[in-house]
């Protein structure tokens, strides 16, 4: 082998080695994974949103699902999250005011509180049915950590029913647990998010009725960890798009834009 040919071979090997080293040193923020912390009420719509986004962008999106309050605590304690999708505006505003956000929160949609049962109760008069003696257990999310729980509590108080029904209330740590209680008939009835009962997996299960004047503004926050990731910024921008808003609408949300 001539000296010139040997030099070319060594040059090629050196080039390949450099490429391998550079790939192994790729920053975490540039790897094709986004971590999203999302309120339990958004679990089903988030699955649909991720599917729609992945039809265009090959990005792995890892979802951490829990109550908005618990997710806020995790983020405060340093959980590696790029985007926070809350069931209210309170928690994202709190995190932003405490220096966790890359920019002010954005309202992505308005949710709706509903009364849901898999039983045959007459829901035509709304929460008045909860007084019925045949109803012994009513599920709501924990008001301390779940926005829909806080809204449920406030609604029952507004209707002068909270004190009368307090002994019947079964608290779920999140809307997810409330839905499990209702769907498995561990309780007779419950107050939950419309986005849940409109999901294809649960649509047509039992019956539900909207509770008047219970629209809930819901916002999201691009966290400082996510601002340096073009992937996270891309998905955050998609959630504000017309396409995403159509998907939110299919799950019972009103537009945030």
Whole-angstrom distance, CA of residue 217 vs CA of residue 155: 15
Same domain, 117 and 141: yes
Instruction: Write out the binding residues for molybdate.
Output: 41, 68, 175
Question: pLDDT tens for residues 116-170?
Answer: 999 999 999 999 999 999 999 999 999 999 999 999 999 999 999 999 999 999 9
Residue 256, pLDDT above cutoff 90: no
Instruction: Write out the binding residues.
Output: 41, 68, 175
Question: pLDDT tens for residues 173-192?
Answer: 999 999 999 999 999 999 99
Asked if the structure places residue 41 within a domain, the reply is: yes
Average pLDDT, the chain: 91
Asked if the structure places residue 178 within a domain, the reply is: yes
Same domain, 85 and 141: no
First to last CA, the chain: 69
CB contact set of 69 (below 8 Å; sequence gap of 6+): 91, 144, 145, 146
Whole-angstrom distance, CA of residue 257 vs CA of residue 161: 34
Same domain, 224 and 104: yes
Question: pLDDT tens for residues 99-119?
Answer: 999 999 999 999 999 999 999
Whole-angstrom distance, CA of residue 62 vs CA of residue 27: 18
Asked if the structure places residue 23 within a domain, the reply is: no
Asked if the structure places residue 238 within a domain, the reply is: yes
What is the CB neighbour count within 10 angstroms for residue 99? 7
Give me the domain span that covers residue 198.
112-214
Asked if the structure places residue 16 within a domain, the reply is: no
Same domain, 116 and 78: no
Question: pLDDT tens for residues 189-225?
Answer: 999 999 999 999 999 999 999 999 999 999 999 999 9
- What does the radius of gyration of the chain's CA atoms come to, in whole angstroms? 23
Whole-angstrom distance, CA of residue 73 vs CA of residue 220: 15
pTM for the full model?
0.86
Residues 36 and 63 sit within 8 Å (Cβ to Cβ): yes
């Amino acid at each position: 082998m001539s000296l010139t040919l040997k030099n070319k071979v060594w040059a090629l090997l050196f080039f390949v080695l450099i490429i391998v080293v550079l790939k192994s040193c790729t920053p975490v923020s540039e790897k094709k994974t986004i971590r999203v912390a999302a309120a339990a009420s958004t679990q089903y719509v988030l699955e649909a949103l991720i599917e729609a986004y992945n039809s265009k962008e090959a990005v792995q999106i890892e979802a951490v699902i829990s109550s908005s309050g618990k997710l806020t605590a995790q983020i405060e304690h340093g959980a590696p999250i790029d985007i926070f999708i809350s069931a209210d505006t309170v928690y994202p505003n709190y995190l932003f005011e405490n220096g966790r956000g890359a920019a002010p929160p954005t309202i992505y949609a308005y949710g709706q509180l509903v009364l849901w049962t898999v039983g045959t109760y007459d829901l035509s008069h709304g929460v008045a049915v909860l007084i019925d003696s045949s109803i012994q257990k009513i599920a709501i999310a924990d008001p301390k950590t779940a926005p829909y729980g806080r809204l449920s509590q406030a609604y029952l108080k507004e209707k002068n029913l909270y004190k009368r029904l307090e002994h019947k209330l079964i608290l779920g740590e999140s809307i997810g647990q409330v839905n499990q209680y209702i769907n498995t008939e561990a309780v007779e009835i419950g107050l939950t998010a419309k986005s849940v009962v409109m999901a294809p997996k649960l649509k047509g299960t039992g019956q539900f009725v909207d509770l008047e004047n219970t629209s809930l503004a819901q916002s999201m926050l691009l966290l400082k960890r996510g601002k340096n990731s073009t992937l996270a910024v891309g998905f955050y921008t998609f959630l504000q798009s017309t396409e995403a808003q159509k998907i939110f609408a299919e799950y019972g949300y009103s537009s945030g834009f």
